[in-house]
Amino acid sequence: MGKVTIEVPIESGTLEMVRDAVLFSGEYWWMFYVCLVGFSFCNSRTILGAVPNINYFHGCALMVLANYGGSTLAMIMMSKPVVFVVNEALVPVALICFTIAWLERNNRVVNKFLADTSIGAIFSSITYEIMRCHVAMGCSAAAAASLPSLLPGGSSSRVAIVGPLIAGVLGGCGGAFMPLDKGLAPLANGTNWRIGSAALNSAWLFLSMQYPSSKAAIGLDAPWARFCAICILVVPPLLQMATGFAPLGANPLVAGPKSKKA
């Protein structure tokens, strides 16, 4: 009796559309700007929340560090140009968002919407995590491409391990280590969501896209591996909002479900 093969058709439309949107692919290039704006307003909110009366120009400097500090450290580590001087959209968008947030910091229209409404919190979290993942993916890929030939006895067939893992963590921390006077302070109070999730995500990127044996075993092509990486960062905060469950530490952009009053 011959082998019977059953083929199950896969509905590709919706999921592939979501994948392409979060990867900024093809006609969804504009999602880059949507996520960058959300990412920038989140960092503006953090800065103004910590120092409400901050000098505008001091805030602008901190804004650039908060937005792009992780990728800056990663690129410096690899002796490459930092991303915010390569992509000229990054600094202007960050400063425009900070200026808007700074000017309305007393009225708190934008900041209040992002912080105190469920829709604002969901928008903030999703756009922030998508952009953070793209930074991590870029840093990890840059390290994987540039470091093997620099290893002792290196060649194009070598696989760098430590560099891509560290670059992925630094790129995915969202500037948690910047400015440098903060150092490792985010780790002082236990598990930090951004650093813990960045480490997990960096390991996934390495195993699914860079290390030959694990890449073959996982068997995902690059777009789907990158989509899974984004899910690693986007889904847990939404789960935290719905259930309060936060195994990698609480995400500061979202809160758990509101308790009902007796």
pLDDT digits (tens, 9 = 90+) for 158-202: 788 898 999 999 888 866 655 544 545 555 555 578 888 999 999
- pLDDT winner (highest mean) among 12-21, 71-80, 132-141, 165-174: 132-141
Other C-beta atoms closer than 10 Å to the C-beta of 75 total 24
Confidence of residue 107 (pLDDT cuts 50, 70, 90): confident
pTM, two decimal places: 0.86
Q: Is the pLDDT at 134 greater than 90, yes or no?
A: yes
What pLDDT does residue 34 have?
A: 96
Q: What is the pLDDT of residue 179?
A: 52
| Gap between the Cα atoms of 194 and 94, Å rounded | 20
List the structure tokens of 197: 């999730």
Q: Please, what is the average pLDDT of the chain? A: 84
pLDDT at 113 (0 to 100): 85
Position 4 confidence tier, pLDDT thresholds 50, 70, 90: very low
Decide: residue 245, CB within 10 A, 0-12 exposed, 13-18 middle, 19+ buried. exposed
Is the pLDDT higher at 258 or at 113?
A: 113
Q: Give dist(CA 66, CA 62) in Å, integer.
A: 6
Confidence band of 1 (pLDDT split at 50, 70, 90): very low
Structural contact between residues 114 and 107, judged by C-beta atoms closer than 8 angstroms: no
pLDDT value of residue 151:
67
The answer to whether residue 9 scores a pLDDT higher than 50 is no
Report the pLDDT value the prediction gives residue 57, as an integer from 0 to 100. Answer: 94
pLDDT at 186: 53
The pLDDT value given to residue 91: 95
Predicted confidence (pLDDT) at residue 126 exceeds the cutoff of 70? yes
pLDDT score recorded for residue 5: 45
What is the predicted pLDDT for the residue at 90? 94
pLDDT tens string 205-221 = 999 999 999 999 999 99
The pLDDT, as a whole number, for residue 155 is 57
Identify whether the C-beta of residue 47 lies closer than 8 Å to the C-beta of residue 98.
Answer: yes
Total Cβ atoms within 10 A of residue 252: 15
255 dihedral zone (left: phi>0; alpha: psi -120 to 50; beta): beta
Predicted confidence (pLDDT) at residue 10 exceeds the cutoff of 80: no
Read off the pLDDT of each residue in 147-164 and give the average, rounded to a whole number.
Answer: 74
pLDDT of 45: 87
More confident residue, 247 or 9: 247
The pLDDT of residue 259 is above 50? no
